[in-house]
C-alpha cells in the first residue's frame, strides 16, 4: 500500500476541560472515500479542522500529505480542498467571482483559473448561473458551488464537513452523484456525516465516532457484518402498551433485542422467520417492518443511542 | 509574505467593485456637507465674533485638516468594525480564506492594506473639497493626506483587534458611542484642545487622533504649524499602527485558529 494521505496516532484535541477528540488513530489512503460517522458533538468536525490545519493539535501525532500541520500549514492547504459545514460564500459576488477570488487566494494565474472555472461550473451544473449573484441560489446550488470552490486548486484531498445537512432529498441525491463522480475520478475524499445513508452511499471505509473516540472501523459492509445481523424486524406496539412485557417474551428470538422509545428491534439473519416466531408466541404488534441492517443499527449496538436525536 | 497578502487586497478590491456605490456617495457628500455647515456656516460666526480668543485664521481653514484626519479615523474604524464582524461571524469569509494557503498574518496585512487604500481614496476626495472650498492650497492639502491616512490606519488596526474579541455587535455600537464619537469631538478637530479644562487636556494629548490632527493641520497650514512635535506624533502613530497590527493578528488567531 502506498503512503497514507492522512495518518493520525493518538490524535487529541481539548478545549479547556472539554475533550473533543480523545486520542484517535486512523489512516486515509490515496483514492479512497473515508468517512467519520457519528452524532453531533462526536468530535468529527474538530478532527476535520485539525486535518485542514486550521486547528492546532493538542497532543498525539498527525501528518497530512506526509507533512506536519503545525510547520507546513500553507503548503498543506495549497493541496487541500475544504467544503465547510456552513456556507461561507461571498453573497454579494457572482458565482463566477466567488470561484475566481478563491482561485486567487491559492495564487493561481488568472488564465488557469478561467479554464478551471469552466470545468467546475459544468461539474456543479451551474453554467447558466455563472453571472448570477450567489444570494438567491437554492441551498443545493450553493452547496454545489461550495464543492466547486473547494476543487478550484485541483486538490489531492477534499474535506467535506456534513456536505448534505439541511438539503432536501432530491438535492442530496444530486450532490451524492457529484461526489460519487469525483470518487471515480480518483479524488480522495474525507467526509463527516451524521447520516448513515450518506456514509453507506459514499464511504469505502469509515470510522464510527462517539464522544471523541473511535468505536469501530471498517467498510459499511464489514461494520454491519461485525456488529449487527443481516436483517432487522421492527415491531411497533400501541403507545404505552405492552412494549416492555412483549420485549421480555421476545427474548430468544433472533440474536438480540433493542427496545427503543417507539419500537422494538429484533436482530435476526432472517426477519421473516423471526416474525413467524413472534406471531407463534401470540404477540400481536400493531405494525411490523422487516429490513436489512444499516450503519444506524451498528451505531445503536455500539453506543446504545441513535445517530440523530 | 507580500504576495499572499496582496491577494487579500485584490479580493477586497473585487468585492468593493460590487459594493462601492453606497459608500462612494457618502465619500463625496459628507465632506461637502461638513465643510459647508461647519466651515462656512459656523465659520462665519466664529470669524466675526469679537469677544473671546481668536484663531488667527479663517475657521474653515482651521477646521478642514482636522476633519480630514477625523474622516480618516472614521473610515478606518468603520471598515474594521462591521465588515470584520461579518468576516468572522456573520458570513465567515475569513474561515474560507484561512482554508487556503493564506495565513492569519497575510490576512491581517492584506485587510489593513486594503483599508489603507480605501482611506486614501476617501481622504483624497476630502482633500479635493478642501481645495475647492478654499481651505488650503492643492499642494498643502495633498501633503496632509498621508498624515490622515496614517491616522486612519492606526484606528483600522486597533479596531480590527477589538472587533475580533467581541461576541456580538453590541460592542461595536459602544465603540462608536464611547470611543470614536468623543474622539471626533474632543481631539482638536473643531477647536484647539487648549480650550478644554487643564485636567482633561492630557487625555486629549494621548489620543492618536490629536496627533493625527496636529500632523494634518501642520502640513496643510505651514503658517500655523504643528501643536505637537511632528516627529513625536509620527513615531507615536507608526508605533501604534504596528502594535495594532500585532494585536489584530493575535486576536484573529485566538478567534479563528481554535
DSSP H stretches of helix in chain B: 2-34, 43-48, 59-79, 82-85, 93-98, 104-132, 138-165, 170-175, 181-186, 201-206, 208-220, 230-256
Q: For the segment B31-64, what is each residue's pLDDT rounded down to a tens digit?
A: 888 888 988 888 988 888 877 667 788 999 999 9
Place of cell 502613530: B237
Whether the CB-CB separation of A138 and A171 falls below 8 Å is answered with yes
Whether the CB-CB separation of A269 and A231 falls below 8 Å is answered with yes
Distance CA(A177)–CA(B207), nearest Å, equals 60
Distance CA(A278)–CA(B127), nearest Å, equals 89
- Chain A residue numbers with beta carbons less than 8 Å from the beta carbon of B256 are 54
* Residue A263 pLDDT: 86
Greater confidence (B114 vs A241) lies with: B114
Contact state of B10 with A104 under an 8 Å Cβ cutoff? yes
Q: Is the pLDDT of residue A228 over 80?
A: yes
Write the residue in B3, B7, B95 that is nearest to A84 by C-beta.
Answer: B95
B3: nearest CA in chain A?
Answer: A107
- pTM, two decimals, is 0.92
- Chain A residue numbers with beta carbons less than 8 Å from the beta carbon of B96 are 84, 88-89, 102, 149
Write the residue in A56, A78, A92 that is nearest to B257 by C-beta.
Answer: A56
In 3D space, the residue among A306, A308, A309 whose CA is nearest the CA of residue A298 turns out to be: A306
Q: For the segment A68-113, what is each residue's pLDDT rounded down to a tens digit?
A: 999 999 999 999 999 998 899 999 899 999 999 999 999 999 999 9
| Interface residue of A21, A67, A75, A88 to substitute, partner B, most B CBs within 10 Å | A88
Contact state of B101 with A75 under an 8 Å Cβ cutoff? yes
Q: Is the pLDDT of residue B182 over 90?
A: yes
- Chain A residue numbers with beta carbons less than 8 Å from the beta carbon of B18 are 92-93, 97
The three three-digit cell numbers of residue A290, written as one number: 422487516
Rg of chain A taking only CA atoms, in angstroms: 22
* Residue B1 pLDDT: 45
Q: What is the ipTM of this complex?
A: 0.90
In 3D space, the residue among B251, B254, B219 whose CA is nearest the CA of residue B233 turns out to be: B219
Write the residue in A52, A75, A90 that is nearest to B99 by C-beta.
Answer: A52
Distance CA(A244)–CA(A241), nearest Å, equals 8
Amino acid at each position: 500500500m502506498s503512503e497514507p494521505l492522512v495518518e493520525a496516532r493518538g490524535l487529541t484535541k481539548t478545549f479547556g476541560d472539554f475533550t473533543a477528540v480523545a486520542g484517535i488513530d486512523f489512516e486515509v489512503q490515496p483514492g479512497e472515500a473515508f468517512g467519520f460517522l457519528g452524532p453531533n458533538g462526536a468530535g468529527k468536525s474538530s478532527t476535520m479542522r485539525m486535518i485542514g490545519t486550521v486547528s492546532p493539535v493538542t497532543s498525539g501525532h498527525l501528518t497530512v500529505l506526509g507533512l506536519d500541520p503545525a510547520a507546513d500549514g500553507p503548503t498543506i492547504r495549497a493541496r487541500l480542498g475544504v467544503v465547510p459545514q456552513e456556507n461561507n460564500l461571498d453573497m454579494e459576488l457572482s458565482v463566477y467571482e466567488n470561484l475566481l477570488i478563491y482561485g486567487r487566494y491559492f495564487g493561481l494565474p488568472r488564465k488557469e483559473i478561467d479554464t478551471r472555472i469552466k470545468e467546475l461550473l459544468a461539474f456543479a451544473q451551474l453554467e447558466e448561473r455563472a453571472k448570477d449573484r450567489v444570494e438567491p441560489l437554492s441551498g443545493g446550488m450553493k452547496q454545489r458551488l461550495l464543492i466547486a470552490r473547494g476543487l478550484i486548486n485541483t486538490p489531492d484531498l477534499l474535506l467535506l464537513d456534513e456536505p448534505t445537512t439541511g438539503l432536501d432529498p432530491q438535492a442530496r441525491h444530486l450532490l451524492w452523484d457529484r461526489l460519487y463522480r469525483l470518487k471515480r475520478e480518483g479524488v480522495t475524499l474525507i467526509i463527516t456525516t451524521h447520516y448513515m445513508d450518506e456514509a453507506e452511499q459514499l464511504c469505502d471505509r469509515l470510522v464510527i465516532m462517539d464522544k471523541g473516540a473511535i468505536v469501530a472501523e471498517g467498510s459499511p459492509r464489514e461494520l454491519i457484518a461485525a456488529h449487527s445481523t443481516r436483517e432487522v424486524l421492527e415491531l411497533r406496539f400501541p403507545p404505552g402498551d405492552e412494549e416492555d412485557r412483549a420485549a421480555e417474551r421476545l427474548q430468544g428470538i433472533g440474536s438480540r433485542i433493542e427496545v427503543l422509545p417507539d419500537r422494538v428491534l429484533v436482530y435476526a439473519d432472517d426477519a421473516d422467520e423471526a416474525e413467524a416466531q413472534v406471531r407463534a408466541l401470540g404477540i400481536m404488534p400493531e405494525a411490523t417492518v422487516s429490513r436489512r441492517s444499516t450503519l444506524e443499527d451498528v451505531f445503536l449496538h455500539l453506543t446504545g443511542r441513535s445517530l440523530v436525536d | 509574505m507580500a504576495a499572499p497578502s496582496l491577494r487579500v487586497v485584490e479580493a477586497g478590491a473585487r468585492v468593493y467593485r460590487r459594493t462601492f456605490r453606497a459608500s462612494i456617495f457618502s465619500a463625496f457628500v459628507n465632506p461637502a456637507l461638513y465643510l459647508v455647515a461647519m466651515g462656512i456656516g459656523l465659520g462665519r460666526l466664529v470669524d466675526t465674533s469679537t469677544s473671546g480668543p481668536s484663531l488667527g485664521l479663517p475657521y474653515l481653514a482651521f477646521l478642514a485638516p482636522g476633519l480630514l484626519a477625523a474622516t480618516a479615523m472614521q473610515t478606518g474604524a468603520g471598515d474594521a468594525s462591521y465588515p470584520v464582524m461579518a468576516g468572522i461571524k456573520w458570513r465567515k469569509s475569513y474561515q474560507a480564506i484561512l482554508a487556503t494557503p493564506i495565513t492569519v498574518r497575510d490576512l491581517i496585512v492584506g485587510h489593513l492594506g486594503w483599508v489603507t487604500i480605501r482611506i486614501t481614496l476617501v481622504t483624497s476626495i476630502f482633500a479635493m473639497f478642501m481645495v475647492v472650498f478654499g481651505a488650503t492650497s492643492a499642494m498643502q492639502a495633498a501633503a496632509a493626506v498621508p498624515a490622515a491616512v496614517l491616522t486612519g490606519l492606526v484606528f483600522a488596526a486597533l479596531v480590527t483587534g477589538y472587533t475580533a474579541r467581541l461576541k456580538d455587535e453590541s460592542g461595536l455600537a459602544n465603540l462608536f458611542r464611547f470611543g470614536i464619537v468623543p474622539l471626533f469631538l474632543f481631539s482638536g478637530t473643531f477647536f484647539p484642545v487648549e480650550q478644554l479644562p487643564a485636567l482633561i487636556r492630557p487625555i486629549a494629548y494621548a489620543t492618536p487622533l490629536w496627533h493625527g490632527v496636529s500632523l494634518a493641520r501642520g502640513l496643510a497650514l505651514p503658517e500655523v504649524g504643528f501643536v505637537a512635535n511632528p516627529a513625536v506624533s509620527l513615531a507615536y502613530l507608526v508605533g501604534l499602527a504596528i502594535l495594532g497590527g500585532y494585536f489584530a493578528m493575535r486576536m484573529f488567531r485566538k478567534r479563528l485558529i481554535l
